[in-house]
Amino acid sequence: MRQPCTIAVFMAMLAASLSAEDKVVGGPYTVNVGQRVATIAWLVQTGEVTVTTEPGKVEKRAPALHAEYVGLTGLVPGKTYYYQSFDGEAGKGSFKTAPRDNQTPFQFVLYGDVRTRHDVHRSVIAAILKYANPDFVVQTGDLVEDGSDTSLWPVFFSIERDLLRKTAFFPAIGNHEHNARNYFDYLGAKPYYSFDWGGAHFSVLDSDRQNFAATEPEREAYWQQEVRWLETDLQSAQKADFRFVVAHHAPMTAVRRRQGENPHMIALEPLFEKYKVSAGLFGHDHNYQHFMKNGIHYVTSGGGGAPLYDVDTPPAGITVKVQSTENFVIVNVNGKQAHFEAKTLAGATIDRFDLP
């Protein structure tokens, strides 16, 4: 017999008070969500370091931060949960657990590269909230300009607050995270991982090869280990209706100066084809790109706030749509149909297509 969820115990844990000198500077947000589990988190500042080259003149401030986590278990699949994480209205949020079956419709939003131009980032989040109502969001990386700079993370969470307090968050690590411990600590994230939502399987990669390790042999060993994991993961997901691979770096690009710069991702294309990946979902290039190659859709959504790049050299024969604009992608999955629609911040449709 299934044991009842001890929500009362969880809520008591969530209501734990902060010490007088602590203050919440991010969240709440929900990560690592599955059918029966979820983790609620929020970012807390416990102090601050100031740096100067002249006494009495502060040149840089670096907050001391840590994330508070509460893990929930025994949840019911496909249900919406409302929670109180810390005191006051600001501590309230909600999330939905993953459905058990593949017949329950769901929506997710894809976007990324929000690291700079914070006013644009705010506009992206406002547009997502206006035009979408996602069960979860997939972020393609480059959340902040420098993952090791603690002063940037409260800015990120402040801008994303109204979205992340009502949905589940699944990020991929970007090159601007610099493989910093902050990324993993604040998001409860792993370098690469997978999750299921209804009939869809998501394999989320760490494609930031340059920051894997200090030496090339170490980087190559790490990448080969990750590729072996990916093949096993995709092989085990062959009964899923859809298989999505998420990473920051894409195998192909319409940005001339970046073409061919990710050979490790290009080398994965035969693996994608072998295991019938439905679509690859990427960032890194600050624009919108959609390619179709050997039956696989490759979508780049990196228009979240970082300065835009020109789409000056679309690859011949595989380009479906490219546009240099801020954007996000709404994906509606209903049974064995998935509908993609890329939008501008004004709500105009850039591109739309269906996966059978």
- Segment 233-257, tens digit of pLDDT: 999 999 999 999 999 999 999 999 9
- Domains (range + CATH), the chain: 100-355 (3.60.21.10)
| Amino acid occupying residue 22 | D
CA gap 202, 84 in Å, rounded: 29
- Coil/strand/helix, residue 347: coil
pLDDT at 66: 96
Phi, psi angles (nearest 5°) of residue 30: -120, 125
CB 206 within 8 A of CB 173: yes
- Residue 150 token pair: 């603690």
pLDDT at 13: 42
**For range 185-189, the mean pLDDT:** 97
CA gap 115, 103 in Å, rounded: 36
144-147-150 Cα angle (round to 5):
95
Pick from 98, 167, 93, 103: nearest CA to 136: 167
| pLDDT per residue as tens digits for the range 117-172 | 999 999 999 999 999 999 999 999 999 999 999 999 999 999 999 999 999 999 99
pLDDT at 3: 41
pLDDT above 70 (res 202): yes
For the entire predicted model, the pTM comes to 0.92
pLDDT above 90 (res 193): yes
195, containing H or E segment: strand 193-197
128, containing H or E segment: helix 118-131
Residue 300, CB-side half-sphere exposure with 13 Å CA sphere: 30
